Amino acid sequence: MSNPLLIAEGLPHFSEIRPEHVKPAVAGLLAEGRALVETLLASNTAYTWDNLVEPLDEMDDRISRAWSPVSHMNAVLNSEALRNVYNECLPLLSEYGTELGQHEGLYQAYRQIAEGDEYRRLDTAQKKVIDNALRDFRLSGIELDATKRARFKEIIQELSRLASKYSDNVLDATNAWHKQITGEQQLAGLPGSALALAQQTAQQRSLDGWVFTLEFPSYFPVMTYADDRELRKELYTAYVTRASELGPTAGLYDNGATMEKIMAMRHEAARLLGYDNYAERSLATKMAESTDQVIDFLEDLATRSKPAAQQELEDMRDFAREQGHDDLQAWDIPYYSEKLRQQKYAISQEELKPWFPEPRVVEGLFAIVSHLYGLQIEAVDGIDTWHKDVAFYRIRDASGTVRGEFYLDLYARPHKRGGAWMDECISRRGTAGGVQTPVAYLTCNFSPPIGDEPALFTHDEVITLFHEFGHGLHHMLTQIDYAGVSGISGVAWDAVELPSQFMENWCWERDALDLISGHYRSGDKIPPELYERMHRARNFQSAMQMLRQLEFALFDFRLHRDYDPKKGARIRQTLEQVRKEVAVVQPPDFNRFENSFTHIFGGGYAAGYYSYKWAEVLSADAFSAFEESGIFNRETGEKFLRSILEQGGSREPMELFVEFRGREPTIDALLRHSGLAA
């Protein structure tokens, strides 16, 4: 019986993958990988790129070809059986990674390459691969004595298990709750699209009336539009207590103890490596140079934003007071924000939806990329995917060369992890048979089509799509042929959001909007006066939003910097402290935001959430080059393509930025775009 996960070329055969394939494939490949390392080390004494790095790279590629579809399906088509094998394999993979990272013979072989003549023969990207490898050996504990090394390995494995447990708890808590409504009077204020979705959800569950869930497209409209304050409070409470000791699923999926363990183990791992704390360890692979630099950067932005944010909050309080509401609570804020936005600018996310039907948005996005970089994107039919809603596309450059391919999975559905992300399916690398085409997964959780109408997106959803597509282009357009530094691989985490946030800017430009929008019935362009209102509303409450991001970033960074083994993680305490200093809105005591903050506890953003703002300085400044030369300026586009998108992690991000912009980044463009310029 053949195992679809072991096919070493072409796209994954999603429809054939079964949970029982996973463990044998992973275990077999890891055994092969271990044997290969020993053979390579034993059969050479003078190590070179070709006799060591290349064959190991190929082995990594085979492992990732098996694991990538599994990990992806676990996120977008979660089931009990798949989740179990996924969680069984995580420690195996993590053990393999640490074992190679702590392999003395392998380390010495890489050092021999780095210190000998071979290194001088390598090109810049190859040199970077070797430099990164030596850095990563050190970060895997290679320089520790045997006891500490063993402990370090244990910690890394446990951390990988805990992160997965954390995310599973959030997903389970999200799925475990819903609200059924049978009386229409409770639904006042909700737009038609939200009602239709709730009705569809009820039908799918064979229930009467309307069903609201904690998935974002269902939750968000209630918070924004429902006139029924009790309903908002009920959903808010369920949402912000997910995976905690409070709320409707209190204690069932509680992440409290898991977070404590994660923090303790990260700190211990960082200390073993000789860092003062995990925040320092985090910066070892980032563009930012010191923990002080990060904190200063965030605090400076907070200081600049706070007066404007306080004013925004005052405006909202005044507005609510005029409507007879004196005590503005957390579950009132999105509601009154939206009402105030409508009063000031007569515009709402809902009003814009008919202008952004899915086919128009996707085609327009492709047209923009074509203008900027001379690329052509075509749909490919008949590709084996994991769900009927998934589409597949191929990107060609001006010469007709295939540069990349991607799966596009746009809609929210049960058992699909929330949020939006780009992930690597296959990475670009040179092989004996030619260059391997990079393939990406682009995953969103947008409102699905209702009935026979096309899906209609909010402007925020369009921005999210552009964001993830920017990551996708970074992964797919790379011209680097070594997987370790091709695409987003090896790119410092705090620079990785540059190409994604950069793309968002086009969603605000008239000429670009004409390409991505058109009324789904009439095909008409967005009328000038509507565009005018959109623009005026762009920075509505932008200081409050800025502070919210800074609150998350400071919480994350201080939590990791200030961990004290004697006092524990002090998670709530840290969050409350940060809120006291930064936030203008204090959430209620029962808010357990930290229990579902998967970015830092379940994902890779630990002591790295600041990266969004950090990279926004780069992306805003990069876009300002287009503001100066024209947003479809082909020459500027070409320059961005060559200097940033194609280079992957082959050089330092600052060097690439300077090559593109002709100077180091400044914060001016970000302040100007956020309406905070002095």
* Contacting residues toward Zn ion, per CB under 5 A: 497, 500
Phi, psi at residue 606, to the nearest 5°?
-60, 130
- Smallest distance from the beta carbon of 360 to Zn ion, in angstroms? 24
- Smallest distance from the beta carbon of 245 to Zn ion, in angstroms? 31
| All residues at 6 or more sequence positions from 365 whose CB lies less than 8 Å from its CB, including other chains | 465, 466, 469, 516
**Helix/strand/coil for 575:** helix
- Smallest distance from the beta carbon of 600 to Zn ion, in angstroms? 14
- Smallest distance from the beta carbon of 415 to Zn ion, in angstroms? 23
- Whether the CA torsion 370, 373, 376, 378 is positive or negative: it is negative
For 502, what's the count of Cα atoms within 13 Å in the CB-facing half-sphere? 30
**Helix/strand/coil for 377:** strand
In the complex with Zn ion, the residue whose CB is nearer, 213 or 500, is: 500
Catalytic residue among 468, 497, 504, 646: 468
Which element (helix H / strand E) includes 213? strand 210-213
- Smallest distance from the beta carbon of 441 to Zn ion, in angstroms? 14
The CB-nearest residue to Zn ion is 500
> Strands 402-411, 439-446: parallel, antiparallel or unpaired by DSSP?
parallel
Are 493 and 441 spatial neighbours (Cβ–Cβ below 8 Å)?
Answer: no
Q: What is the DSSP string of 285-347?
A: TSS---HHHHHHHHHHHHHHHHHHHHHHHHHHHHHHHHTT--S--GGGHHHHHHHHHHHHH--
Instruction: Say how far apart CA 416 and CA 175 lie, in whole Å.
Output: 10
Which two structure tokens, joined as six digits, stand for 92?
Answer: 């195996």
Of 503, 544, 510, the C-alpha closest to 528 is 510
- Whether the CA torsion 482, 484, 490, 491 is positive or negative: it is positive
Are 273 and 139 spatial neighbours (Cβ–Cβ below 8 Å)?
Answer: yes
Instruction: Say how far apart CA 288 and CA 311 lie, in whole Å.
Output: 32
How far are the Cα atoms of 151, 280, 648 from residue 652, in angstroms, in the given order?
Answer: 32, 19, 10
- Smallest distance from the beta carbon of 491 to Zn ion, in angstroms? 12
Instruction: Say how far apart CA 392 and CA 587 lie, in whole Å.
Output: 42
Instruction: Say how far apart CA 228 and CA 190 lie, in whole Å.
Output: 10
| Neighbour count for residue 9 (Cβ, 10 Å) | 9
In the complex with Zn ion, the residue whose CB is nearer, 218 or 619, is: 619
In the complex with Zn ion, the residue whose CB is nearer, 438 or 518, is: 438
- Smallest distance from the beta carbon of 500 to Zn ion, in angstroms? 4
Phi, psi at residue 418, to the nearest 5°?
-70, 170
Helix 19-42 × helix 54-76 angle, to 10°: 160
Output DSSP code: residue 456.
Answer: B
* Region class of 662: left (phi > 0), else alpha (psi between -120 and 50), else beta: left
Are 442 and 405 spatial neighbours (Cβ–Cβ below 8 Å)?
Answer: no
In the complex with Zn ion, the residue whose CB is nearer, 465 or 512, is: 465
Output DSSP code: residue 6.
Answer: G
In the complex with Zn ion, the residue whose CB is nearer, 140 or 611, is: 611
Question: What HEC string does 49-70 produce?
Answer: HHHHHHHHHHHHHHHHHHHHHH
Which two structure tokens, joined as six digits, stand for 229?
Answer: 């304050």
Q: CA-based Rg of the chain, rounded to a whole angstrom?
A: 25
Instruction: Say how far apart CA 120 and CA 117 lie, in whole Å.
Output: 5
Active site includes 338? no
- Smallest distance from the beta carbon of 482 to Zn ion, in angstroms? 24
In the complex with Zn ion, the residue whose CB is nearer, 481 or 497, is: 497
In the complex with Zn ion, the residue whose CB is nearer, 106 or 617, is: 617
In the complex with Zn ion, the residue whose CB is nearer, 500 or 636, is: 500
- Smallest distance from the beta carbon of 494 to Zn ion, in angstroms? 12
In the complex with Zn ion, the residue whose CB is nearer, 454 or 603, is: 603
- Smallest distance from the beta carbon of 468 to Zn ion, in angstroms? 7
> Strands 429-431, 391-396: parallel, antiparallel or unpaired by DSSP?
unpaired
Beta bridge partners of 442: 408, 422
In the complex with Zn ion, the residue whose CB is nearer, 212 or 609, is: 609
Q: What is the b/e burial string over 67-84, where b = at least 16 CB atoms within 10 angstroms of the residue's CB?
A: bbbbbbbbbbbbeeebbe
Instruction: Say how far apart CA 480 and CA 124 lie, in whole Å.
Output: 10
In the complex with Zn ion, the residue whose CB is nearer, 167 or 500, is: 500
**Helix/strand/coil for 508:** helix
- Smallest distance from the beta carbon of 497 to Zn ion, in angstroms? 5
In the complex with Zn ion, the residue whose CB is nearer, 190 or 503, is: 503
- Smallest distance from the beta carbon of 488 to Zn ion, in angstroms? 10
| Catalytic (active-site) positions | 468
